[in-house]
Amino acid sequence: MSTVPLLSTALADRTLVIAVDRRADELAAALARHGARVERAPAMSTIPHLDDDSLLESTRALIAQRPQVVIALTGIGFRGWIESADAAGLGEQLRAALAEATILARGPKARGAVQQAGLKVAWVAATETAAEVGEHLLSGGVQGQRIAVQHHGSGSDGLDDLLTGHGADVVSLTVYRWGPTRDPEALRRSVVRAGQGEIDAVLFTAAPGAAAWLQDADRAGTLDAIRGHAETGRLVMAAVGSVTAGPLLEHSLPVLLAERGRMGSLVRTVVQHFEEAR
């Protein structure tokens, strides 16, 4: 049986928890190539809506009456929307409709998904927040504009009400949603072990997942111990971007933040941290 050669031993003898559902295999493999012991504890699951009738209905409405502005909030959501349209035979028509619009992206993942679909992004939010997207649009006025908003899984970004309140015609699209973890035992085990000082780092790639992991730690009575380990540097809480780090910072936890909002950057940041610590 062949083994993948190590790129480094920076994470040798380190136990890392990935509180990730989507692309967990990819992240685990990348960390293992630096010698890490990886334990999976997905705090939430991603539930696609690729066959949802309301999504296709909204897609047809946008093809019939094209939007002036399109907001892509997540990479997985935008790709899922295009895949859903392709499966329904609407892909070419949707791309043609979107090509005429000004497309805004919440961050680099969303931008990458838009570009992967063969479309151009006019602007990307520097803070990777829906609030900045809203502020950017309102600064130029949205009265009478038809705006398509592709939401993230939690659907609580507030953009629909904000834009509608300023006179926009908003078409809302939810392509996936967050669901409960598929492995509650692994999740519970991870928060207990982190509180006991048996984990070296916990990695997060989505804010809802970070919030759910902390909620489980609170229920298990280990949140204070986790905070104590994090404050001393015994436990590293690593996040893929500032939005993902939000729930951690709200609980006064120090965060190791990836330089860029991508999974590869998260791996490099964690590897560099432990190399320097060693």
Q: Can you give the pLDDT at residue 263?
A: 85
Q: What does 194-232 look like in DSSP terms, one character per residue?
A: HHTT--SEEEES-HHHHHHHHHHHHHHT-HHHHHHHHHH
* pLDDT of 177 strictly over 80: no
Pairwise CA distance, residues 111 & 269, whole Å:
22
Q: Can you give the pLDDT at residue 3?
A: 61
SS3 63: helix
Pairwise CA distance, residues 213 & 19, whole Å:
7
DSSP β-bridge partners for residue 102: 69
Same CATH topology for 15-43+181-277 and 48-178?
yes
Q: Can you give the pLDDT at residue 5?
A: 81
**Region 168-185 average pLDDT:** 88
Contacts of 98 (CB under 8 A, 6+ apart): 62, 67, 70, 117, 119
SS3 38: strand
CB 163 within 8 A of CB 133: no
Residue type, 260: R
Pairwise CA distance, residues 246 & 276, whole Å:
25
pLDDT in tens, 189-198: 999 999 999 9
**Region 193-221 average pLDDT:** 95
What single DSSP character describes residue 5?
P
pLDDT in tens, 68-96: 999 999 888 898 899 888 888 899 999 99
* pLDDT of 2 strictly over 60: no
Q: Can you give the pLDDT at residue 153?
A: 66
CATH class of 15-43+181-277: alpha beta
Q: Can you give the pLDDT at residue 1?
A: 38
Pairwise CA distance, residues 46 & 127, whole Å:
24
In CATH, 48-178 is 3.40.50.10090: yes
Pairwise CA distance, residues 51 & 238, whole Å:
34
Where are the chain's structural domains? 15-43+181-277, 48-178
Instruction: Give the count of alpha carbons within 13 A of 250, CB side only.
Output: 12
* pLDDT of 178 strictly over 90: no
